[in-house]
Amino acid sequence: MPAEPTAVPRPPAASASSTPVLTGAEAVVRSLELLGVEDVFGLPGGAILPAYDALMGANSLNHILVRHEQGAGHAAEGYASASGKVGVAIATSGPGATNLVTAIADAHMDSVPIVAITGQVFSTLMGTDAFQEADIVGITMPITKHSILVKRAEDVPGALAQAFEIASTGRPGPVLVDITKDAQQAEAPFVWPPKYDLPGYRPVTKAHGKQIQAAATLIAEAEKPVLYVGGGVIRGRASAQLKTFAETTGAPVVTTLMARGAFPDSHEQHLGMPGMHGAVPAVLALQESDLIVALGARFDDRVTGNTSLFAPNAKVVHVDIDPAEIGKIRAAEVPIVGDVAEVLVDLDTAFRSTVGAEVPEYAEWWQYLNGLRDQFPLGYTAPTDGLLAPQQIISRIGELTGPEGVYVAGVGQHQMWTAQFIKYERPNSWLNSGGAGTMGYSVPAAMGAKVSQPDRVVWAIDGDGCFQMTNQELATCVLNNIPIKVAIINNSSLGMVRQWQTLFYDGRYSHTDLNTGHDSKRIPDFVKLADAYGALAIRVEKEDEIDDAIKLALETNDRPVVIDFVVSSDAMVWPMVPQGVSNSYIQYARDNSPAFDEEA
């Protein structure tokens, strides 16, 4: 099971006579140790060099030297998402810090708790356009929970303690701590625990009792309810409470892209993933419901389609720890601000009290939804060009690895297929860049996940486009004995963009051919590339080679494995609700398209 985050150690404050005097750089390292950090990802440079010098003596901190700062940020994300702990990334000033921005934005969109520590030029040089100077605090302010500039050595412990508290409480997210070089070099008494104040930061965890009762009443009165489960249930460690509540109510459950694994796929009440590429029963359950109970979900446009036409007959109970999300997209009849795990326990109690022995059965609703499940099971159309079906490959990866594995996807068609065709039975088993849609996420995030979960099999299921953005972290994996498995779903193109060009641009394939597949010069040749990095490299082009390659990867634990699966560029992600239209489009397609049954 994923490790539970440990409480921040709070040793008694030292007496004045025994208070050590440390440089700011030494205070960075000592603070991280006292905060329970075990692993950090980073790349040194001039402005952060004092902290790296101090790291030399830190026996309890495992530093992993990445090949690009973006890799450090995504690795910290993967580490946090797989374990529930706070991930840490370190970079220098200027371009080192700005290279972290994509990962920080990604963590912000997906509520991932990371702390990014950056070096800054001397405080006396700030504002002078000094060498490698960038206002990283200003740059990241819109994409962090908080950004802190430290100019004094004595402020280092407090800044880091604040950062970890803010990142890991309330709605999780990234925090940046930017430390000037003179603050790292100067000395100051090191006092732990540090004193700090966070005025205005008071996350609400306990929901109001009247709102809980109002929600329970609506659920009891509903005829077509749906539990709309978002990534907040994963981040809030509320999967067990969700299962209990779902079974108490008997209501159908849908899990968003960010919530895959929050509720077991094998559970009879689970309808699958809603949204643009969601399962037909899940999409129509939301669209035709009379009550949506949104749990840690934000009514993302990829789920709602045209928001003005989304679930027109549904009342809404919206549970979220972030009050800014409630009412932002869809007005809620019952808004509930609180920790989703606690709210679910309270809702379960209130619902039981409200209905007594008369638990609703929603018989007609389930009859309709089960009919959709029978009529539109998940499937795919086999390629006609003689190349492999990506859906088959991904299904076999999941079946041969099992639910205890961790599956990390890049962005695009392979991301959707991995969300659809692998069965997720537990939280923290599915990692992806959902909100930002960051190409290049998979390999470094899988690396971070494997560091935090060394006893689990970790797959990076990537596209040939995504893989070329961050594959340099294979060197990091080889040198640090991080044996991830990489499955490249190689369709020789930017697949999702190509799919849109097929459907909406009359097949005008403008600049989406990557020339990495079977009918090209293979630039690059992924097998040769992986072999050069020291990974086990395999190419699969025939259906009867699929299982053997996956099994060999699972048996290989002394180095990373890269499998180049050469697949059809014509494979499509189905179903698909076009952007900006109503989710009732699926109803229209179901009733009017003879190809819908096959494509669904």
Catalytic residue selected from 131, 141, 375, 598: 131
Catalytic residue selected from 496, 499, 572, 576: 496
Contacts of 455 (CB under 8 A, 6+ apart): none
Site of tokens 């150690």: 9
| Gap between the Cα atoms of 50 and 67, Å rounded | 20
Is cis: bond before 113, omega within 30 of 0?
no
Task: Kindly give the pairing relationship between strand 253-255 and strand 175-180.
Answer: unpaired
Other CB atoms within a 10 A radius of the CB of residue 170 amount to: 18
Q: What is the DSSP string of 478-499?
A: HHTT---EEEEEE-SB-HHHHH
Angle between helices 363-375 and 280-287 (to 10 degrees): 150
Q: Under DSSP, is residue 148 helix (H, G, I), strand (E, B) or coil? A: strand
DSSP 383: P
Other CB atoms within a 10 A radius of the CB of residue 385 amount to: 12
Task: Kindly give the pairing relationship between strand 21-23 and strand 187-189.
Answer: antiparallel
Task: Kindly give the pairing relationship between strand 187-189 and strand 253-255.
Answer: unpaired
CB-based contact 229:252 (threshold 8 Å): no
Catalytic residue selected from 38, 122, 126, 132: 132
Take residue 307 and report the two structure tokens written for it.
């928001």
Catalytic residue selected from 154, 164, 165, 181: 181
Phi–psi pair at 372, nearest 5 degrees? -65, -40
Q: Write the burial class of residue 87 (CB in 10 Å: 0-12 exposed, 13-18 middle, 19+ buried).
A: buried
Query: Is 132 considered catalytic here?
Result: yes
Three-state SS for 453-478 is CCCCCEEEEEEHHHHHHHCCHHHHHH
CB-based contact 311:292 (threshold 8 Å): yes
CB-based contact 432:257 (threshold 8 Å): yes
Q: What is the DSSP string of 6-35?
A: PPPP-PPPPPGGG--EEEHHHHHHHHHHHT
Classify the phi-psi angles of 147: left when phi > 0, otherwise alpha if psi is within -120 to 50, otherwise beta: beta
Query: Is 342 considered catalytic here?
Result: no
Take residue 223 and report the two structure tokens written for it.
């005829």
In 313-405, beta strands by DSSP E:
315-320, 334-337
Give the Cα-Cα-Cα angle 365, 367, 368 (nearest 5 degrees).
65
Give the Cα-Cα-Cα angle 240, 241, 247 (nearest 5 degrees).
95
Partner residues linked to 227 by β-bridges: 253, 293
Start-to-end CA distance of the chain, whole Å, equals 34
In 265-403, beta strands by DSSP E:
270-272, 291-295, 315-320, 334-337
Q: What amino acid is encoded at 262 in this protein?
A: A
CB-based contact 363:260 (threshold 8 Å): no
How far are the Cα atoms of 216, 287, 315 from residue 221, in angstroms, in the given order?
Answer: 9, 18, 11
Query: Is 181 considered catalytic here?
Result: yes
CB-based contact 414:462 (threshold 8 Å): yes
Catalytic residues: 69, 131-132, 181, 496
